Amino acid sequence: MSNFKVIIDSRKVLRKPDDLPPDTGCWKNCTCYTSGNGMQKLTMTCNVVGRDRYDDFRDFLSDENGNFSGTFTPVFRQQKNNGNVTRFIEPFVAYDSISDSVFRFTIYGTFLDDRNDNGGQQSFFRNMKLLCFRSIDGGKNFAKPLDLSEIYFRDHSDGRPLISCSHLLSCSDGKFRVPACFYPVEDKKSSWFLRVLSGEPDGEGGIKWHFGGIIPPPDGSNLMMSEFSIAEVPGGLLAVIRADHPGNEYFCRKYTAFSRDGGENWESCGILRYDDDTPVYTPDSCGFLIRHSSNSLWYISNILEGDRNPYFTRNTLSVAEVDPASCRLKKDTVTEIDGRQGNDLEYMAISNFSCYEDRKTREIVVESPKTFQSVNNDLHDSKLMEYRIKIIQQ
Give the residue extent of every domain in the chain: 4-393
Per-residue confidence (pLDDT) for residue 23, from 0 to 100: 65
146-189 pLDDT, tens digit each: 999 999 999 999 999 999 999 999 999 999 999 999 999 876 66
Per-residue confidence (pLDDT) for residue 118, from 0 to 100: 61
Residue 297: CB atoms within 10 Å = 18
169 vs 319, 333, 337, CA distance in Å?
19, 24, 24
The segments of the chain whose pLDDT lies below 50 read none
Residue 171: CB atoms within 10 Å = 19
Per-residue confidence (pLDDT) for residue 9, from 0 to 100: 95
115 secondary structure, DSSP code: G
Per-residue confidence (pLDDT) for residue 116, from 0 to 100: 61
Q: Judge: domain 4-393, CATH 2.120.10.10.
A: yes
Closest CA to 55 of 97, 13, 11, 117: 117
Per-residue confidence (pLDDT) for residue 70, from 0 to 100: 79
